[in-house]
Chain A
Amino acid sequence: DQQVKQNSPSLSVQEGRISILNCDYTNSMFDYFLWYKKYPAEGPTFLISISSIKDKNEDGRFTVFLNKSAKHLSLHIVPSQPGDSAVYFCAAARAGRRALTFGSGTRLQVQP
């Protein structure tokens, strides 16, 4: 099941620079998208979300961009901090449903 894909298993950036994490989806029924961060031995932590009626949502250092025509979303973290080092999951929900479909995750490492 590859409805939500995160093609980069890992990403390394320098502290203070921008981190860009990407996610693609194939199911046009998805209309709500979320990003989660996960540390080892913990559950996913909600970061930011976006509805399909928007193309951008910002919360502090985190911005999510949605390109519906390309079925692509990205998470920008700026400036990146060492504490941001974690696995980031993209997730999507279909209209009227609450089940989340997750991507495989991208491991972000922020180098001091």
Chain B
Amino acid sequence: EPEVTQTPSHQVTQMGQEVILRCVPISNHLYFYWYRQILGQKVEFLVSFYNNEISEKSEIFDDQFSVERPDGSNFTLKIRSTKLEDSAMYFCASSAGSSVSYEQYFGPGTRLTVT
């Protein structure tokens, strides 16, 4: 069964450093997403990406964040200058792009720890 994969599973970085989180969405999906879950809090939407551009973003997704689909399979989230409060689980998701169903399929997550 196709699945979303994410690397690395755990990333430790120092405050102020740049990090890139990587995802391989399900191959025939058209929409790609990043969510995050800070420990003890809800899963929060960050950004969605369709047709090589951002289609929606939340207030959390400020200028420190960027997304890219550098090739036909990868989808990345870059945080330019990490802060302590960026420590969270980051989930990538993808969906087929149907106009009648919005099911999103999630990867296992990357745990980002900013020290």
Which residues of A are in contact with B by a Cβ distance under 8 Å?
A: 1, 32, 34, 36, 41-46, 49, 51, 89, 91, 93, 97-105
Q: Which residues of A contact B31 (CB under 8 A)?
A: 98
B102 A34 Cβ-Cβ under 8 A: yes
B100 A51 Cβ-Cβ under 8 A: yes
Q: Which residues of B contact A98 (CB under 8 A)?
A: 31, 33, 48, 55-56, 95, 102, 104
Q: Which residues of B contact A34 (CB under 8 A)?
A: 102-104
Chain B residue total in the interface (Cβ 8 A): 25
Which residues of B are in contact with A by a Cβ distance under 8 Å?
A: 4, 31, 33, 35, 42-45, 48, 55-56, 58, 91, 93, 95, 100-109
Q: A46 to B106, alpha carbons, bound, how many Å?
A: 8
Chain B residue at minimal CB-CB distance from A33: B102
B28: shortest Cβ distance to chain A, in Å?
16
Quick one: which of A1, A49, A89, A103 contacts B103, CB cutoff 8 A?
Answer: A49
Quick one: which of A43, A51, A97 contacts B56, CB cutoff 8 A?
Answer: A97
A12: shortest Cβ distance to chain B, in Å?
21
Chain B residue at minimal CB-CB distance from A42: B108
B56 A89 Cβ-Cβ under 8 A: no
